[in-house]
Amino acid sequence: MLQFSDTSRILAGVVLITVVTIAFGGTFLLQVVRGKVPMTDFQKTFARAGHAHAGVLVTLGLVCLVLADGAGLTGLGGWVARAGVPFAAIFMSAGFFLSSLGRGVTKPNRLIALLWLGAAGLVAGVLTLGIGLLTA
């Protein structure tokens, strides 16, 4: 039976709690679809993208925790493999949502940089985990 490291156990607990925020985002999107929240097409697209990225990356992040423990990754590489994807879920979603805030917005503001920061975390996490799995 797979034993979970304390790091993975704690990160999994935190990640699972964040699912509540994703569910809240889903209810917000229902309001948008029903026309109760005025948004530009650009804002609707970014809201959908932010919500979708959060859900998918949280799920992938949980899988990465199990795989990192299975490969026995420790140290800095273990932290990057475990935290990279959950970090990406937070920052990529924030980039979509925060860069499209405001009334009548039709293009992203400077907070789009958060999206790229999250993308870097995603790449670092999955690359580190992939190499760790291949060399374990």
34-76 residue pLDDT tens = 999 999 999 999 999 999 999 999 999 999 999 999 999 999 9
> What mean pLDDT do residues 80-96 have?
97
pLDDT confidence of residue 118? 98
- Residue 111: partners with Cβ closer than 8 Å, 6 or more residues away: 94, 95, 98, 99, 101
**pLDDT of residue 2 exceeding 80:** no
Sign of CA dihedral 28, 82, 136, 5: negative
pLDDT confidence of residue 6? 93
- Residue 121: count of CB within 10 angstroms of its CB: 22
- Residue 80: count of CB within 10 angstroms of its CB: 21
Q: Distances in Å between the alpha carbon of 34 and those of 26, 50, 53, 114?
A: 12, 18, 22, 29
Computed over every residue of the chain, the mean pLDDT equals: 95
pLDDT confidence of residue 65? 97
pLDDT confidence of residue 1? 64
> What mean pLDDT do residues 82-105 have?
97
Sign of CA dihedral 14, 15, 18, 19: negative
Could you tell me the two tokens for 40? 């530009």
**pLDDT of residue 134 exceeding 80:** yes
User: pTM of the prediction?
Assistant: 0.91
pLDDT confidence of residue 3? 83
